[in-house]
Amino acid sequence: MEKKIKVGVIGATGVVGQNYLRLLQRHPWFEVVHLAASPNSAGKKYADAVAGRWHMNVDIPEAYRNIIVEDASNVSKAVGKCKIIFSAVELDKKAILALEEEYAGKGFAVVSNNSAHRATEDVPVIIPEINHSHLDIIPRQRKKRGWKDGLLVVKPNCSIQSYMLPIFAFIKAGYPIDKMILATLQAVSGAGYPGPASIDLIDNVLPTLAGEEDKSEVEPAKILGRIEGDRIVSDTSIKISAHCNRVAVSDGHIACVSLKFAGKKPGMDEIIGIWRNFSSLPQELKLPAAPVPPIIYRDEPDRPQPRKDRDAGNGMAITVGRLRPCNVLDIRFVGLHHNTVRGAAGGAILTAELLVAKGFVK
Amino acid sequence: MEKKIKVGVIGATGVVGQNYLRLLQRHPWFEVVHLAASPNSAGKKYADAVAGRWHMNVDIPEAYRNIIVEDASNVSKAVGKCKIIFSAVELDKKAILALEEEYAGKGFAVVSNNSAHRATEDVPVIIPEINHSHLDIIPRQRKKRGWKDGLLVVKPNCSIQSYMLPIFAFIKAGYPIDKMILATLQAVSGAGYPGPASIDLIDNVLPTLAGEEDKSEVEPAKILGRIEGDRIVSDTSIKISAHCNRVAVSDGHIACVSLKFAGKKPGMDEIIGIWRNFSSLPQELKLPAAPVPPIIYRDEPDRPQPRKDRDAGNGMAITVGRLRPCNVLDIRFVGLHHNTVRGAAGGAILTAELLVAKGFVK
Amino acid sequence: MEKKIKVGVIGATGVVGQNYLRLLQRHPWFEVVHLAASPNSAGKKYADAVAGRWHMNVDIPEAYRNIIVEDASNVSKAVGKCKIIFSAVELDKKAILALEEEYAGKGFAVVSNNSAHRATEDVPVIIPEINHSHLDIIPRQRKKRGWKDGLLVVKPNCSIQSYMLPIFAFIKAGYPIDKMILATLQAVSGAGYPGPASIDLIDNVLPTLAGEEDKSEVEPAKILGRIEGDRIVSDTSIKISAHCNRVAVSDGHIACVSLKFAGKKPGMDEIIGIWRNFSSLPQELKLPAAPVPPIIYRDEPDRPQPRKDRDAGNGMAITVGRLRPCNVLDIRFVGLHHNTVRGAAGGAILTAELLVAKGFVK
Amino acid sequence: MEKKIKVGVIGATGVVGQNYLRLLQRHPWFEVVHLAASPNSAGKKYADAVAGRWHMNVDIPEAYRNIIVEDASNVSKAVGKCKIIFSAVELDKKAILALEEEYAGKGFAVVSNNSAHRATEDVPVIIPEINHSHLDIIPRQRKKRGWKDGLLVVKPNCSIQSYMLPIFAFIKAGYPIDKMILATLQAVSGAGYPGPASIDLIDNVLPTLAGEEDKSEVEPAKILGRIEGDRIVSDTSIKISAHCNRVAVSDGHIACVSLKFAGKKPGMDEIIGIWRNFSSLPQELKLPAAPVPPIIYRDEPDRPQPRKDRDAGNGMAITVGRLRPCNVLDIRFVGLHHNTVRGAAGGAILTAELLVAKGFVK
């Protein structure tokens, strides 16, 4: 990339916005030039706007400290400054729906972390290794909405990456899935900041994430769906039942998965081979954030573990372990991913890279 | 009980033995008069023998501080002193098999926490509310082995109580189970002392308890089995698949359960009624350690939780919550129990009470 | 007590209010008949008002579930119903100052957990075993303010009980203190609910409680002060320097104390004797909440510890350990107390008992 | 460095040895060519020898997986292979004393993590930025012991680095220290593996590290001492009193420090300047592991914190914060360092670099 592509982050002062800045600070393709947040932060230097509420383990990157934060609701402030907008605004659903569309309408490639548009029919929910082809809806999205250069894509909930890549590897290898039951052990960073109170996770777990269960069951269907005209039609053929739990872990979501194949079943060794050989378009295109390999299978009986495996592939790889037969369905395994990297800002950055590589951002 | 029944604890200095003493200190029927452990401890006052390794949250009960610890391998030391032996010895499997049989042969009612005899055909594995009728094998056990007054019963692994009582309530109500998939979040006290290293559970979980999974899948079959002659034949009709995880919780095991009924299915309200109305022989006999009710269903969406629910019914009740349909099998719920009370020493004490009430200890 | 004294709790829906109800549910002298909170809760049954935000480990006591919550700002609602008001209202300081005075003016004995009135000259800050004599200011408080039967007393910050009782035992034994340096390791419940975010205390501590340090240094002076006319004059002769830290503990504050005596020094054995023999008016009066003994010295090298010692004396005793010479000042030790019992609601209840025993509540 | 210096690690399979390998894997000067451990491991490939007990968060470096582990007690196995021996053997004190001397006698520069030789008069205890001049004892050490090229230096206990660098900066700036009281909050990795049991640090802290207190008080005197002939004479002019606590943190020790200067006192701004401008020989020599700057002062009221600051300067910098006056002594502050990097293997590696730069390793 001879010249970096200029990008903006809206909702830059929140914890998701902070994760974007942390991950983008030495990005080879993207240069953050625009930061926007609520009217309260507007007009302040970024370092002042986040003083006392910067929650990353690394310091505020020097390059962003003195950028003057704009009002995210004032779309015109971004015009002419950047091409890609990473959206992490914290508003009510209706306001997010409208604001993200407004940015797209003004010509920005909007990549959003919010759940608001996940159910919008012409907005793809992207896990780059799985449904990169869903980006092909963009011309129809633009046409339908009268957008010239703008576009809008979103990333899915952070609870699903631990199993979506492993099961997509099966599907791609010719082994479709019939049903799966999964139990997640999710890190507290998945709940944003402040997230759960300390007192609720000291000597305790919260086996009670009903909202996460819904997303874990519904979002896979859209990701595995297909484009029909100007909408993405979900593939609801896989039945999913999720038990979602919150545990005292900072980063790194675990999924304990039991699944049944729809037809023939691969052997155990074959499965490990499928995972270890899995690769997809992001890897072929050598996208900067694409992990190689995307799926790591570990033989050790005591892996994966959040603290030891979440940073694999710079937080972008999925680590799988403990493959064994299931007494009820066909197989069992444990998957793990870094929820604020692969499951959030990192996944969105990889999506933006894909948009660039496929020519949707000019 | 006009006069208390004298009992002994072998393996009294280990953490399971300590739990026995903690729970027995004000027992209305039992009086601890005999403590035995390894030769190292023999001859010492109990307080001296456990100095520096008493791990309970309450102090060493005064009544036991000055009891002289005997060598557990010297069975004759217990003869004439007590009738019931609670076994928590920490030896290799072969030695436990022999020692517990030796105690039973000398006339003691042996109630054991060890896994050694769980697979022995004429030794019942008891959860009092479920298979109290398995105690009827005792006359045949005595006859076969030539024991006069002695007997040997064991309690199951601590990972299964969270779901065994809830599903037994279904079976008893006429709704047999076909299969179940469960994920456990197990407390560290279940691994004994010292159990897992701190460093392995700070900002981490261990989704890797292969040994616990085996027990969670196999032991229910024997508990649900039936007596045939002088052996208990397992009922293997329920297929169970377990994912067992260790989390940073001191006490309180959780099971996230999905299950399918074998025939007709009860409605959701009916299920709650079945649980809330469940009662069994220990409750009818008003055994001192029997919780009333044995199963507590909580409506709140954020329950059960280990810290808030483990002590229900003095640690003997099972708390259930989050009943909802399962997208793959029939229903889902979360069960929780106190692993060192109901799941260990408390369960064994309730079993001993049952032995007394049924006339097997004289 | 033939007939129980009727009491009310204002701020009853907050976590301090919940602690009051938890501790008062089987109180031999007091009967809770009045619950008040913000206008939002007014008119609701207590169980409905706290639904989804009851944070105790025990359930809502049955006796309080159906009490209709009143608006705490409407003092007249309490008139005629009760004599003692436990105040745990969460308002800004000015509003608390006024509201608590209004209750006292209407004839209630107000015992407050709030910090608002701690600096008010005629309002005593009570640790019952230490400055019970400060209650003698009440007649002057009443006269000055024109209150007939009402009165107003407060309890100190929860960070100081771990060392105040141990050092007061020295003072009472004739060994005044010159200076002390202390480091606290404070539990998260001391910060109310939700208190610190989980993410900030997973694999972390917060050595940063500047506000707690101020209180830990200033409040002891008033507690050790004397009545002069209608005000309490602080005794600032002890220099205190505090380092306050927040750690991932639910309940139980630790203080690591180094201190220098003002004059002669007691020997090590003498100190242990002073602590073990310490007793005060609450013990002599056999007040229901008074722990016997109030100070527990433990010889074991690995004590005190929060989980093992916080519940000593029903959470009202102070546990001390690790007495040893200090290389810089005179002696060192570790003190521990239960911050939401002795350090908060329990301490206030003991104060109310003292008010009754001394005849200030009729 | 044109050609890397070959080094060995003895005790390579233990957790300290693993830390060495983790930190040395891309070292610009050193190449690990020799790994030795107990006879049990001897003859195995390193990866096999540590299978099931590799405790680092990163994988076993590829370069070391296939090295055949030697028996550490067989010194001849190292002869001719490497020049520097990093010692992390886990033996009894007497055996360590003899073995490390044997390696030095055979011509190796031995840099040890063990405490065994810390009290040996001619063995310097090195914190490179503080007492690099103590390496000048090496010629006399060699002469006295009849060693030709060998030498023996050790690193101090991991509990002291958080305050030793900050106070040495004062001393170097002309402000000697009279006395200090400190409380540490120490991470579990400081206790080796497995270290404390999980159950002892869930909802708990251990304010009970007597052994750590001794080292924290005694070792600084030797580090601040001077060479007299062939021994290092401690400077005992600073009185130190330590309260050492273990907390549920993986890595990162905190020290809460109160201190009194021996003479004139620097102002608060001056102190911050002293810390921020502090630099020493390792920085001047641009040693690879030397952090620049070695001391980081943070203005934010909520720093330092273990998770956010332990990795500063690649784990080699000391982070200081919360400077404020002390009501008893002169000043107070909080220091933090990474105990397994700066406080252990990293400190030893920096010492080895210093030995090379000063010409003691040829």
Neighbours of chain A (3+ CB pairs under 8 A): B, C, D
Question: Measured between beta carbons, which residues in chain A are less than 8 angstroms from residue C248?
Answer: 198, 202
**Which of D52, D203, D307 is nearest residue A57 as measured by Cβ atoms?**
D307
Question: Measured between beta carbons, which residues in chain D are less than 8 angstroms from residue C248?
Answer: 203, 247-248
Does the beta-carbon distance from B311 to C57 stay under 8 Å?
yes
Question: Measured between beta carbons, which residues in chain B are less than 8 angstroms from residue C308?
Answer: 57
Length of chain B: 362
Joined tokens for residue B58: 């309450």
Bridge partner list, D259: D180, D331
Question: Measured between beta carbons, which residues in chain A are less than 8 angstroms from residue D202?
Answer: 202-203
Mean pLDDT of chain D: 97
**Which of D240, D247, D327 is nearest residue C217 as measured by Cβ atoms?**
D327
What pLDDT does A50 receive?
A: 97
Neighbours of chain D (3+ CB pairs under 8 A): A, B, C
Joined tokens for residue D134: 């103590």
* Per-residue pLDDT tens listing for chain C (362 residues): 679 999 999 999 999 999 999 999 999 999 999 999 999 999 999 999 999 999 999 999 999 999 999 999 999 999 999 999 999 999 999 999 999 999 999 999 999 999 999 999 999 999 999 999 999 999 999 999 999 999 999 999 999 999 999 999 999 999 999 999 999 999 999 999 999 999 999 999 999 999 999 999 999 999 999 999 999 999 999 999 999 999 999 999 999 999 999 999 999 999 999 999 999 999 999 999 999 999 999 999 999 999 999 999 999 999 999 999 999 999 999 999 999 999 999 999 999 999 999 999 98
- Residue B2 confidence (pLDDT) above 90: no
CA distance B144 to C256: 63
Residue D130 contacts residue D164 (beta carbons within 8 Å): yes
Does the beta-carbon distance from C198 to A197 stay under 8 Å?
yes
Give the strand pairing for D239-246 and A177-186. Answer: unpaired
3 state SS for A102-138: HHHHCCCEEEECCCHHHHCCCCCECCHHHHHHHHHHH
Q: Nearest CA of chain A to the CA of B29: how many Å?
A: 33
pLDDT digits (tens, 9 = 90+) for B241-297: 999 999 999 999 999 999 999 999 999 999 999 999 999 999 999 999 999 999 999
3 state SS for C162-227: HHHHHHHHHHHCCCCEEEEEEEEEECHHHHCCCCCEHHHCCCCCECCCHHHHHHHHHHHHHHCCEE
Is B229 exposed, middle or buried, given 0-12, 13-18 or 19+ CB atoms closer than 10 A?
exposed
Does the beta-carbon distance from D57 to A308 stay under 8 Å?
yes
Backbone angles phi, psi at B182, to 5 degrees: -140, 150
Closest C-alpha among B17, B89, B74, B13 to residue B49: B13
Does the beta-carbon distance from D241 to C329 stay under 8 Å?
yes
Active-site annotation holder among B34, B117, B253, B337? B253
- The ipTM (two decimal places) reads 0.96
DSSP strands (E only) in chain D: 5-10, 30-37, 70-71, 84-87, 109-112, 151-154, 177-186, 226-228, 231-233, 239-246, 253-261, 295-298, 318-325, 331-337
CA distance B318 to A10: 48
| Dihedral over Cα of B200, B202, B208, B214: its sign | positive
What pLDDT does B362 receive?
A: 83
For A333, B294, B317, B332, C182, the CA distances from B272, given in Å and listed in that order, are 32, 13, 16, 12, 53
Question: Measured between beta carbons, which residues in chain C are less than 8 angstroms from residue A249?
Answer: 202
- Residue A1 confidence (pLDDT) above 70: no
Mean pLDDT of chain B: 97
Sequence-distant (6+) residues with CB within 8 A of C272 are C297, C323
Instruction: Cite the DSSP H helix spans in chain D.
Output: 15-24, 46-49, 62-65, 93-105, 128-131, 138-145, 161-172, 210-223, 268-277, 281-284, 306-309, 346-357
Q: Is D315 left (phi over 0), alpha (psi -120 to 50) or beta?
A: left
Q: Nearest CA of chain A to the CA of B251: how many Å?
A: 8
Which of A189, A205, A247, A305 should we substitute to test contact with B (largest number of B Cβ atoms within 10 Å)? A205
Q: Nearest CA of chain D to the CA of A204: how many Å?
A: 10
Closest-CA residue of chain C to D300: C208
- Residue B185 confidence (pLDDT) above 90: yes
What pLDDT does D172 receive?
A: 98
Q: Nearest CA of chain C to the CA of B173: how many Å?
A: 29
Q: In the 8-state DSSP scheme, what is residue A61?
A: P
pLDDT digits (tens, 9 = 90+) for A33-70: 999 999 999 999 999 999 999 999 999 999 999 999 99
CATH says C161-337 is which class?
A: alpha beta
Q: Nearest CA of chain A to the CA of D157: how many Å?
A: 26
pLDDT digits (tens, 9 = 90+) for D153-197: 999 999 999 999 999 999 999 999 999 999 999 999 999 999 999
Residue entry with tokens 């099998």: B329
CATH says C5-157+345-357 is which class?
A: alpha beta
Which of B162, B206, B243 should we substitute to test contact with A (largest number of A Cβ atoms within 10 Å)? B243
Closest-CA residue of chain D to A51: D300
Q: Nearest CA of chain A to the CA of C201: how many Å?
A: 7
Residue B85 contacts residue B109 (beta carbons within 8 Å): yes
Does the beta-carbon distance from A240 to B322 stay under 8 Å?
no
What pLDDT does C362 receive?
A: 83
Sequence-distant (6+) residues with CB within 8 A of A22 are A56, A58, A61, A345
Joined tokens for residue B84: 């019931």
Known catalytic residues of D are 158, 253
Which of B65, B189, B202, B336 should we substitute to test contact with C (largest number of C Cβ atoms within 10 Å)? B202
Does the beta-carbon distance from A307 to D203 stay under 8 Å?
no
Question: Measured between beta carbons, which residues in chain D are less than 8 angstroms from residue C239?
Answer: 327-328
Bridge partner list, C271: none
CA distance A116 to C336: 49
Does the beta-carbon distance from C57 to B307 stay under 8 Å?
yes
Q: Give the whole-number percent of chain D exceeding pLDDT 90.
A: 99
In the structure, what pLDDT confidence band is assigned to residue D287 with cuts at 50, 70 and 90?
very high
Radius of gyration over every alpha carbon of chain B, rounded to an integer in angstroms: 20
Which of C59, C201, C314 should we substitute to test contact with B (largest number of B Cβ atoms within 10 Å)? C59
* For chain B, domain boundaries: 5-157+345-357, 161-338
- For residue B158, indicate whether it is catalytic: yes
Mean pLDDT of chain A: 97
Would you list which residues of chain A are within 8 Å, Cβ to Cβ, of chain B? 179-181, 183, 185, 200, 202-208, 210, 217, 239-241, 243, 245, 247-250, 254, 256, 258, 301-308, 321-322, 326-329, 332, 334, 336
Q: How many CB atoms sit inside 10 A of residue A229's CB?
A: 11
- Residue D1 confidence (pLDDT) above 90: no
In the structure, what pLDDT confidence band is assigned to residue A362 with cuts at 50, 70 and 90?
confident
Closest-CA residue of chain C to B313: C58
CA distance C140 to C145: 8
- Residue B300 confidence (pLDDT) above 90: yes
CATH says A161-338 is which class?
A: alpha beta
Residue C259 contacts residue D241 (beta carbons within 8 Å): no
Closest C-alpha among C114, C79, C84, C77 to residue C98: C114
Joined tokens for residue A311: 């940073």
Give the strand pairing for A331-337 and B5-10. Answer: unpaired
Intra-chain end-to-end CA distance of chain B, in Å? 13
Question: Measured between beta carbons, which residues in chain C are less than 8 angstroms from residue B305?
Answer: none
**Which of D203, D300, D308 is nearest residue A203 as measured by Cβ atoms?**
D203
Bridge partner list, B9: B35, B86
ω into A293 cis (within 30 of 0): yes
Question: Measured between beta carbons, which residues in chain D are less than 8 angstroms from residue A296?
Answer: none
**Which of B52, B300, B308 is nearest residue C57 as measured by Cβ atoms?**
B308
Sequence-distant (6+) residues with CB within 8 A of A306 are A187, A249, A251, A252, A254, A336, B203, B204, B205
Q: Nearest CA of chain A to the CA of B218: how many Å?
A: 11
Residue C163 contacts residue C180 (beta carbons within 8 Å): yes
Closest C-alpha among C315, C319, C166 to residue C250: C315
What pLDDT does C1 receive?
A: 64
Q: Nearest CA of chain C to the CA of D59: how many Å?
A: 21
Bridge partner list, A344: none
CA distance C341 to C162: 12
Does the beta-carbon distance from A250 to C199 stay under 8 Å?
yes
Question: Measured between beta carbons, which residues in chain A are less than 8 angstroms from residue B262?
Answer: none
Sequence-distant (6+) residues with CB within 8 A of C128 are C280, C281, C282, C287, C290, C347, C350, C351, C353, C354
CA distance B266 to B284: 25
Joined tokens for residue B80: 């004439």
Intra-chain end-to-end CA distance of chain D, in Å? 13
pLDDT digits (tens, 9 = 90+) for A93-118: 999 999 999 999 999 999 999 999 99
Residue entry with tokens 């010249």: A3
Question: Measured between beta carbons, which residues in chain B are less than 8 angstroms from residue D201?
Answer: 198, 202
Does the beta-carbon distance from D193 to B188 stay under 8 Å?
no
Q: What is the separation of C-alpha C122 from the centre of its chain, rounded to a whole number of angstroms?
A: 18
Residue C333 contacts residue C258 (beta carbons within 8 Å): no
